[in-house]
Amino acid sequence: MSNLTLEAIELTRLFGGREAVKNVSFHLEKGEVLGFLGPNGAGKSTTMRMLTGNLAPS
């Protein structure tokens, strides 16, 4: 049985030809915690919206 809980492979999102998120990849296993840190406009909310299915990757 795998402990893999979440995996993202090369998530990218463009808005009007501009990259909001570029090639984000990671995996989480059971019990791990991940946080997104960065300045305004870094793509944190966009990444979370893609992970929750509220926004499709480009």
**pLDDT at residue 1 greater than cutoff 70:** no
> What's the chain's Rg over C-alpha atoms?
12
**pLDDT at residue 3 greater than cutoff 90:** no
Count of other CB atoms within 10 angstroms of residue 43 = 19
Specify if 34 maps to a domain. yes
Note down the domain range covering 36: 4-51
Are the beta carbons of 36 and 48 closer than 8 angstroms? yes
- Summarize the confidence of residues 44-55 as an average pLDDT: 95
Specify if 20 maps to a domain. yes
pLDDT in tens, 24-38: 999 999 999 999 999
Specify if 56 maps to a domain. no
Specify if 19 maps to a domain. yes
Number of structural domains the chain divides into: 1
Specify if 29 maps to a domain. yes
pLDDT in tens, 4-16: 899 999 999 999 9
Predicted structure pTM score: 0.85
